[in-house]
Structure 1
């Protein structure tokens, strides 16, 4: 389990609530509840916190993975 340094945690904030984050296992959790009444959770992948609001995470998971990797046409 990657441990986020205390120095980094001291400056990171929840992008939705603006509250400080605490590490719980492999996630960072907001210290204040969001509009749904639940605390927001953010994954840590390869030691990097993914601070995307939940609606953007859902949108990125629904997008086709080859959206930007398709063949490029040649000009001319």
Structure 2
């Protein structure tokens, strides 16, 4: 796999994510909207200050799997 970044800033080896699905997801802690970080392949909850990983195109919405943001 390549770690090259495409012209739109997304990793070229990243799976295609359905934007409508992402818009429907909310933070499991705060019930607020999430933002998509294509480069890091994460869904970010600014309110909870957590980032939920996307692995193989599947959002992992478990608090135990989330990364705390500084």
Give the TM-score band, short-chain normalised. Answer: 0.5 to 0.7
Q: Where do 4+ consecutive residues of structure 1 move more than 3 Å?
A: none
8 Å Cα contact 2:26-2:34 kept in structure 1: yes
| Pairs aligned (count) | 51
Q: How does 1:26-45 map to 2 (within 5 A)?
A: 26-30=41-45, 32-34=46-48, 39-45=49-55
Distance 2:17 2:35 in 1: 9
Which structure 1 residue ranges, 5 or more long, are not aligned?
A: 59-76
CA deviation vs aligned residue, 1:2-22 (integer Å, no higher than 9, x gap): 342121012100101111112
CA RMSD of aligned residues (A): 1.8
CA deviation vs aligned residue, 1:20-76 (integer Å, no higher than 9, x gap): 11210211111x422xxxx210111110000011xx238xxxxxxxxxxxxxxxxxx
Say which SS state the counterpart of residue 33 (structure 1) adopts: coil
* Counterpart residue number, 1:14: 27
Higher Rg: 1
Change (3 A) 1:57 1:12: same
Q: Which has the higher helix share?
A: 1
